[in-house]
Amino acid sequence: MTADIAAGTLVLVSTPIGNLGDLSPRALETLAAADIVCCEDTRRTRGLLTHAGLKGIRLLSLHAHNEMARVEVILAHLTQGRTVAVVSDAGTPAVSDPGVRLVSAAVEAGFTVTTVPGPSAALAALVVSGLPTDRFSFEGFLPRRGGDRRRRIDVVARDARTMILFEAPGRLGATLQDLLGACGPDRRVVVARELTKLHEEVWRGTLADAATTFTEREVRGEVVVVLAGDPAAGRAPDDDDVVGALRGRLEAGDTLRDAAGTVAGELGVSRRRAYDLALELRRNAKP
């Protein structure tokens, strides 16, 4: 039996995030039928295919550093009527992984783009978190430093939806400390580590406890952070909310006028109110 895929098609194939038994029969059929399989790490994908009993599959590297250069090559294969499958090292490709530019280019060129759905670390962490799942936002990796990081954390902290973040194990403690500062000590959070693997851990508690726990211990493996939404997000912003947002913009280098305009738009307050509070913030900051 072969996968039912039209020629000249780009197929995004989800692969296991840990447990190799999660590779679906349809994913196997699709990879076996594809003319080319694009992957982040050819050695890792070759190992997965070998474990699944697939040999002789043509692999082409597609990662963060070569995706732009690969797009035209892959489009040429599609033009010749070939089926190109795309996988990431784990989970669903193009979700905090390479593939977005390729998919956009293939769609723009008129090729069929389809998917074989399956494992996703973000959704796996969400559904085991115990936090609301009716409305959520996947934020991926936060910026590592500077004004962009402060602004993004401020947005995450003030959102009413459950927020899903990816983080590297070495940066987990610092990120939890930053979230603690923005959200307060009592916000509920879940740290999901090594999902579907032998040493799977799902830690649940408050940000205060999480910041202490994961700053004091060595963290290994893939990490997903699931943060409860802001319970106060439905109310009208008070002056403290506006000042906090203004402070982040000003620290990032915005002028008073630009900071006031941006915060007014984000929080739904008047520009005059935001500008007056920005002036007061600037005056109080002077020695």
What pLDDT tens digit does each residue of the chain (287 aa) get?
Answer: 344 455 699 999 999 999 999 999 999 999 999 999 999 999 999 999 999 999 999 999 999 999 999 999 999 999 999 999 999 999 999 998 999 999 999 999 999 999 999 999 999 999 999 999 999 999 999 999 888 999 999 999 999 999 999 999 999 999 999 999 999 999 999 999 999 999 999 999 999 999 999 998 999 999 999 999 998 776 678 888 899 889 888 888 889 999 999 999 888 889 999 999 999 988 887 65
Within this chain, do residues 115 and 126 fall inside the same structural domain, yes or no? no
CB count in 10 Å sphere of residue 128? 16
Within this chain, do residues 96 and 24 fall inside the same structural domain, yes or no? yes
| 272 within 8 A of 249, measured Cβ to Cβ | no
| pLDDT given at position 7 | 63
Within this chain, do residues 36 and 80 fall inside the same structural domain, yes or no? yes
CB count in 10 Å sphere of residue 139? 19
* Beta strands in the chain, from DSSP E residues, in sequence order: 9-13, 36-39, 59-61, 84-86, 112-116, 136-141, 162-167, 188-193, 201-206, 223-227
Q: On the CB side of 22, how many CA atoms lie within 13 Å of its CA?
A: 19
Please tell me the distance from the alpha carbon of residue 30 to that of residue 127, in angstroms, as a whole number: 27
Q: Which residue has the tokens 């999480």?
A: 210
Indicate whether 40 belongs to any domain.
Answer: yes
Please tell me the distance from the alpha carbon of residue 151 to that of residue 248, in angstroms, as a whole number: 6
Q: Which range of residues forms the domain containing residue 247?
A: 239-285
Could you tell me the pTM of the whole model?
A: 0.78
Indicate whether 170 belongs to any domain.
Answer: yes
| pLDDT given at position 3 | 47
Indicate whether 213 belongs to any domain.
Answer: yes
Count of structural domains, the chain = 3
| pLDDT given at position 267 | 82
